[in-house]
Amino acid sequence: MQRLHARYPFLEAARDAVATETVDLATVVEQDRAVVERACDRVVATLEEGDTGTPRRDARVELLSYPVARVLVSLVGERVLVRKYARAEAATAFERFTDDLADTTELKSVESTGLELSDLLAEFDLEDDVRETGDGYRIDVGTYLPLAADLWDDEWRLVNRALTGGGVPIDESELLALLREAIRTRVEDGLPFDVPEMIATALEAEAEEIRAILAELDLTREIDTVVPEMFPPCMKALLDAIQKGEHLPHHSRFAVTAFLTSIGMSTDEIVDLYRVNSSFGEEMTRYQTDHIRGDTSPTEYSPPSCATMQSYGDCVNKDDLCERIPHPMAYYEQRIDDADDDLDDWRERNGEEEAASGD
Ligand code: SF4
């Protein structure tokens, strides 16, 4: 088993190595305490330090702890943990590959533990989409947008980029940041998944430990508040259009649905919001909403960034705050943060009104 796989367990080759090495994950979790302990450390460090903790010397333990950590994250099943875990794995990988790329030592060991930039580009099928230029790189805009979607600093917004011939110029540090995003997306893909009962039982104590740390950190409150008055102007406009019965193009419907799922609305609540629209089809709305939130697809989709909203013509009625944020979620987070503690959640308000009217 190569140490490279232990350092970068998200690689396809590492997955293959696990498949060859591991007869059965159930046996590993039942019999290999060192792997289970490292897997648990991996997830706990995610919450406490934002990285994946101290690696073990034994490459086998280190490599196998990755799939077991994914099982633990799935068992706990909290979206905030999935996001933090994926971010931490990507941050650790980023630190390692920036070191690898900076390491120009001639004294490479027989079994290399480092990655080359070309390896990373090939891993994510980016060789054709990223081209070296004299003073940096150029990446195809269609590849750039999803990779940069969760990078909220202004510099990532497409309007702040000198787009030429369908390509976005980037420097090397930006390319590495985009590769970190590719890793984060890959780690997040498919999480959480259903865990077979036998494995769940064997890992119950570790899952409980992680749940307790999560509860203590009180992270589950990430934006789970629905206050329409504080929605960004673009989302208000899209919701208004829905309420007026207008037909929304697919990208607009995707944007508003992804926004509503990201702030914690359930599929039922979103379906209720859409119900007033005459072009509403309950079955299709449910299907699309479940798909976007990742219940029926391997990916939990994020709402588009302001740059993407602008390119689709969905960015309207911009206000002062819009000038300072790169993403509709950042807008909403800022408004919620700036508000008093006592926020009037639309779902509670709606419930009270229904109760008062006897519905
Ligand atoms: S700037 Fe962003 S948040 Fe503001 S309206 Fe446009 S897309 Fe929405």
Q: Is 152 in the pocket of ligand 1 (CB under 6 A)?
A: no
Give which of 34, 36, 26 is closest to 206, Cα–Cα. 36
pLDDT at site 299? 62
Q: How far apart are the first and last CA of the chain?
A: 63
Q: What pLDDT, on the 0 to 100 scale, is given for residue 357? A: 54
pLDDT value, residue 16:
83
Taking the centre of ligand 1 as the mean of its atom positions, its distance from the CA of residue 229, in whole angstroms, is 15
At 108 the pLDDT is 47
Report CA(309)–ligand 1 centroid distance (Å).
7
CA 271 – ligand 1 centroid, Å: 24
ω into 192 cis (within 30 of 0)? yes
**32's tokens:** 């290999």
Measured by CA distance, the residue closest to atom 2 of ligand 1 is 306
Interhelix angle 12-21/59-76, rounded to 10 degrees, is: 100
What residue type is assigned to position 263 of the chain? I
Q: What is the pLDDT of residue 145?
A: 87
Q: What sign for the dihedral angle of Cα 348, 350, 355, 359?
A: negative
Low-confidence ranges of the chain (pLDDT < 50): 106-111, 220-221, 359
Cβ-based neighbour number of residue 112 at 10 Å: 13
Q: In what order do the strands lie in the sheet with 167-170?
A: 130-133, 136-140, 167-170
Which protein residue has the closest C-alpha to ligand 1 atom 3? 328
Residue 112 backbone class (left: φ over 0; alpha: ψ -120 to 50; beta: rest): beta
Distance 318 CA to ligand 1 centre (A): 6
The closest of 190, 182, 62, 59 to 123, measured between CA atoms, is: 182
pLDDT at residue 280 in the model: 64
User: Rounded CA gap, 321 and 80, in Å?
Assistant: 26
Cα–Cα distance between 337 and 335 in angstroms, integer? 5
pLDDT at 90: 94
Residues 6 or more apart in contact with residue 253 via CB below 8 angstroms? 288
> Distance between CA 6 and CA 15 in Å, rounded?
10
Element (H, E) at 273: helix 267-274
Can you give the residue ranges of every domain in the chain?
3-101+194-217, 111-186, 228-356
pLDDT computed for residue 40 by the predictor: 97
92-111 per-position pLDDT tens digit: 999 999 988 887 554 444 44
Q: Which amino acid is at 308?
A: T
**147 CB-near residues (< 8 Å, 6+ apart):** 139, 178, 181, 182, 185
Amino acid 13: pLDDT: 85
For ligand 1, say whether the CB of 322 is within 6 Å of any of its atoms. Answer: yes
Q: Residue 228 Cα, ligand 1 centroid: separation in angstroms?
A: 15
Residue 244: the pLDDT is 80
Q: Supply the pLDDT for residue 109.
A: 46
In three-state secondary structure terms, 139 is: strand
Q: Find out whether the beta carbon of 233 lies less than 6 Å from any atom of ligand 1.
A: yes
